[in-house]
Structure 1
């Protein structure tokens, strides 16, 4: 039975969440708190250290894969017949990187050029910590890789509860709970974006210093959003962090950008009524409906708004996610990378030791073929997960539903699907208490998905870290000698890729773990040793 102490703690937590923007919009004038766990999920120091020290290599790998046009064309072409959206994405990618294509859909054009954008890769790599295999990658998220701000907020919520409601916090925590694992995802993501934004702004300030017609203005960040979005508070938290760094933030849908973007001198991207844009951050564009505009006459559905995205990348502006990044973080590319030997992975900017470390994180994935049904039937129905190329919830098929779906696929659709070896993380050792829409629920088999954020600017780590700060981090988090963690040594660089984490937990009986679209709850981490 849930006692009054726990009920009061949950009410305090709900009010804290709402007052700190940890919410989802329900109407134009109201919101509900996001679902969350009352206490954090435990992780061993070794598992956490392995992830934080290696996840930056995944960002490096994806960057180099995204900039390898030949590889992307060969990787994506086989799935275009079975997935019209990826066919459109590949056409967009080819249009962006063809230097002779004319951008006739926008006025005020200069001579057409190939992509001028600065790749800003903000990626969330999602893992499950398998009971026997250790942490394995579930998927890359390179577009709309959100909820970093919520990840930091729920960590702060757990810090609040540990102080405000120690009795309830202790009751619902594992007996071996130690220090909470720090999470600065909001601050670090904002810092990485700010670094890219200031870089572009400074480039044009230098170019236009002596220009009479100077288009340089305050550093400006454009977030491309979905119409009617309900997950806006996570986005606004990021915007507020950028505003505190002196960056102007603008929100627009693709439809609102159509016909409003122009070309300035030196391939400067201009937006009517705003001026020069330094960074474009996409929280939309990962599904066809983001490009729908029934009021625009177009030769192909969605073509007009896709041309807007192409137009952006033809300019000197920092962009996350580029179309090539979206392709490189697809399930198709993940499957191909997971099947490569370490020596082959060195094609993508890694040395052999880095490639070996990356290989350890990649789970088993195989392409769907005419023989896939036999492979699934020969094992347990919990051995595999069937996945298509879709982003977000609802794109994975489990258990008894796999064989009927395989039977329904046409041969030309096979390549757009893959089978991933199903992971089985250990559930929390003790019952957890979750809070959803004000209601408390005990969960006796809570498992967690671990999302690790990284930021790269043109393939280089983008988070500023001073040597003293890294050494302090080592001592506080791992209780080891300062120069033994994350490769810290006397020649340490001043930038890292790892930016923070997002934990989403759910019952092991639930297949949809998204906080926004599934039965997941926001969670944080605590060390158990």
Structure 2
């Protein structure tokens, strides 16, 4: 078989074929719940209209060996981040407000201080639930070289688009079944469309936590943002939990919970409008704007100190910080979580090597010269000719800042934020660093940019409030996410599983990648052999 040519993807369509595929894709999406609420200043309590989610017409090509590797690694990552969330000493040192990121980041510091106070008061629920998503890009090792799998980030809170990604995959299978994509590509065969059952898998994780809680008649609480446009992605989980597991859901915002949520005494059962809650699933609370005043944090802490199992708990949310991702690259840290016998199951050197193989070079902006010399991360890509040399930067700056300035053309700077739109890229880095207060450097990491295959295209279809816009062919980058869950506590992982995937595709003109933030479309996979 000839080597797959990414630059030739997707096959060209005639105008008639493009119009037919667009109509088939959008009507399928509208008929099968691949939906968003339309943009509006305010949404009514009971929505009366919907639009299809942003979608692609062709699935994104992903090498079969790399997809298989990403799926296989998810269970290791599930265990890794569960163990990080159970290691209080480590999280205090990396994310805390006394010696860690929380000193420089008020949002992180406030969450950590609340968690510390709850620990001092006494944690009544040792179990935690994680619904995870590990995000990857294909990386070109060298010009014309082989591809590898590189991790963008690991998500521990509000890992969204699981249910809609399943429907995007079904939509592409439908297009193939109904049109065979006009016979335009030998790669578009039924056996190259991998199955995706993310809805059932994520619901299984929530149901496992509910069962561990063990109270008959209890319910799962979804903590949601007001005026949520991505409501259908959440509703499909709600429907699956009721249909398959006979578990009822309560949906509430932080503002609603301020008056509806109480703790029973003395056992601290969480009651919402009189209903006992087994599990709290956060689809809000990951950005500072979710806490417009201090009372919202107090509501979050009320949920955390209850007997309900939190998904995520505050320590698990903190474990998803970019600073933790960077700390894992330092000598001995990965071994702390995967090789130490105190955790029970240990992973061998080959498994650790495979995990490390998914990482790009990264470092802290406040890294000093001693830290830089001890780093064992892979070498950074060479900087472009427009980058300042290390000698041109002030020697009084930390080594991490000097290195970021020298290599800015091939870097991204990341804060401890989720939701898209937070990072600083390439030429924007020097002016940003010139204005970043030294006290805030600890809240940022630098990461070498992943280099995806060049000249890959797709047909992107977005819907507006007034109807469907036509498909636009654009040069794109596709990001693969693998979902998993873990129930854990007391130093032990009670259960974990890899449960599906998503693909988000964006135009190359955009550095950011969030669907909800408006940068990407939902996509799926066609497996290809290199």
Q: TM-score w.r.t. structure 1 length? A: 0.81
Decide whether the 8 Å contact of 1:97 with 1:115 is kept in 2.
Answer: no
Q: CA deviation at 1:136?
A: 1.4
1:222 aligns with 2:194: no
Contact kept, 8 Å, 1:154 with 1:523, in 2: the verdict is yes
The answer on whether the counterparts of 2:55 and 2:461 sit within 8 Å (CA) in structure 1 is yes
Q: Paired residue for 1:137?
A: 151
Out of 102, 109, 114, the residue aligned to residue 87 of structure 1 is 109
Q: Unaligned regions of 5+ residues in structure 2, if any?
A: 1-12, 142-146, 367-396
CA distance in 1, matches of 2:262, 2:29: 41
Alpha-carbon deviations, 1:121-158, whole Å to 9, x = none?
A: 11111111212261111111111111100111101111
SS in 2 for 1:223: strand
Whether 1:439 and 2:464 are equivalent positions in the alignment is no
Matching of residue 98 in structure 1 with residue 97 in structure 2: no
Instruction: Please give the secondary structure, in 1, of the residue aligned with 2:50.
Output: strand
Which residue of 15, 23, 39 corresponds with 1:11?
Answer: 23
The worse-fitting range, judged by mean Cα deviation, of 340-349 and 9-18 is 340-349
User: Which digits, 9 at most, give the CA deviation of each residue in 1:217-250, with x for residues without a partner?
Assistant: 2x41110001111111111111111111211111
Q: Is the 8 A contact 2:270 2:303 kept in 1?
A: no
- The 2-side partners of 1:364 and 1:313 are apart by 35
Is the 1:512–1:518 contact (alpha carbons within 8 Å) kept by the matching residues of 2?
A: no
Structure 1 contact 22–150 (Cα < 8 Å) conserved: yes
CA distance in 2: counterparts of 1:383 and 1:272, whole angstroms: 49
The whole-number CA distance in structure 1 between the counterparts of 2:455 and 2:75 is 27
Determine the C-alpha separation between the residues in 2 that align with 1:272 and 1:508. Answer: 45
Equivalents in 2 of 1:502, 1:384: separation in Å? 25
Choose the corresponding residue for 1:311, options 281, 299, 302. Answer: 302
How far is 1:516 from its partner?
Answer: 1.5
Q: Distance in 2 between matches of 1:421 and 1:4?
A: 43
The corresponding residue for 2:335 is: 343
Greater shift, 266-275 or 236-245, is seen at 266-275
Three-state SS of the structure 1 residue aligned to 2:501 is strand
Q: CA deviation at 1:332?
A: 1.0
Contact 2:56 2:459 survives alignment (8 Å): yes
Deviation at 1:117, TM superposition (A): 4.8
CA 146–428 in structure 1, closer or farther in 2 if over 3 Å, else same? same
C-alpha separation between the residues in 2 aligned to 1:306 and 1:190? 27
Consecutive unaligned residues in structure 1, runs of 5 or more: 100-112, 205-215, 293-300, 463-494
Q: Match for residue 419 of structure 2? A: 392
Specify the alignment match of 1:151 in structure 2: 165
Offset from partner CA, 1:258-314 (integer Å, 9 cap, x none): 14333347735242434211111000111222223xxxxxxxx42x22222222222
**Matching residue of 1:239:** 238
Tell me the residue number matched to 2:377: none
TM-score (normalised: structure 2): 0.81
Provide Cα deviations, 1:375-424, integer angstroms capped at 9, x if missing partner: 24434x44110111111111111121011001111111111011011001
Aligned to 2:50: 31
Q: Distance in 2 between matches of 1:62 and 1:340?
A: 17
Shift in Å, 1:175: 6.9
Task: Determine which of 363, 368, 385 is the counterpart of 2:365.
Answer: 368
| Root-mean-square deviation (Å) | 2.4
Question: Residue 123 of structure 2: SS of its match in structure 1?
Answer: coil
The within-5 A match list for 1:151-300 is 151-168=165-182, 170-171=183-184, 179-201=192-214, 204=215, 216-217=216-217, 219-244=218-243, 245-264=245-264, 267=267, 269-292=269-292
Residues in 2 aligned to 1:337 and 1:401: alpha-carbon distance in whole angstroms: 27
User: 2:133 is matched with which residue: 124, 132, 142?
Assistant: 124
The alignment of Structure 1 onto Structure 2 pairs a total of residues equal to: 458
Task: Give 1:174 deviation, angstroms.
Answer: 5.5
Tell me the equivalent position of 2:92: 73
Distance 1:177 1:159 in 2: 7
| 1:422 pairs with one of 438, 449, 460 | 449
Q: 1:356 to 1:179 in 2, by over 3 A?
A: same
**Residue 517 (structure 2) pairs with residue 513 (structure 1):** no
Structure 1 residue 362 displacement after superposition: 2.5
Q: How does 1:461-476 map to 2 (within 5 A)?
A: none
Whether the 8 Å CA contact 2:53–2:462 is kept in 1: the answer is yes
- Aligned-partner Cα distance in 2 for 1:261–1:13: 42
**Given the superposition, is the C-alpha separation of residues 332 and 373 from structure 1 closer, same or farther in structure 2, using an over 3 Å criterion?**
closer
